[in-house]
Amino acid sequence: MPELQRLRPEHAAALLAFERENRAFFAASVPDRGDDYFADFDARHAALLAEQSAGLCHFHLLVGPDDEVLGRFNLVDAADGAAELGFRLAEKATHRGLATAAVRHLCTLAATDYGLTTLHARAAIANAPSRTVLTRAGFTPTGETLQLNGQPALAYVREERGQ
């Protein structure tokens, strides 16, 4: 069973492989990261770990057998009890409920380990799988429409119950 793990230095090689293997798949629904992302990957990975160490972000990987990265699940811009959720799942891991399970688990970690009571997310209207994951994980549309990477998108929020 895949496991959600907090980003660590030793994940670098597997994470880079994940990004390379899924580059075309991701580019079909979100803008491509560009060649510089891959050329400067080690520096970028180090910067993410520094942000995480400072408590500004919480980065997680869904890791499968043989330490293969199957997805990224991140909480960014953490401040005042809130953060923005973002995620991407490997093409070969789709349609198995893994993204929904990982997002639900991350929501629990957000509340219990990181002190976050409000999570925000955005999903392109054309990205039905991401919108479905958010809804199944307890996010609700706010009614706000916006642009996400040049595409019409919806804003979502999830607040810890009892708040």
Over the stretch 44-60, which tens digit does the pLDDT of each residue have?
Answer: 999 999 999 999 999 99
Q: The tokens of 68 are what?
A: 């293969």
pTM value is: 0.93
Task: For residue 12, give its domain range.
Answer: 3-159
CATH label of the domain that carries residue 39: 3.40.630.30
* Contact criterion met (CB below 8 Å) for 7 and 52: yes
% of the chain residues with pLDDT over 90: 84
Q: Cα–Cα distance between 107 and 113 in angstroms, integer?
A: 10
Q: Is the pLDDT assigned to residue 163 strictly greater than 50?
A: no
Nearest by Cα to 69 from 10, 109, 114: 10
Domain count, the chain: 1
pLDDT in tens, 72-89: 999 999 999 999 999 999
* Residues 124, 87: Cα–Cα separation, whole Å: 13
Q: What is the pLDDT of residues 110-133, one digit of tens each?
A: 999 999 999 999 999 989 999 999
Q: In whole angstroms, how far apart are CA 89 and each of 17, 22, 95, 124, 160?
A: 13, 9, 10, 16, 25
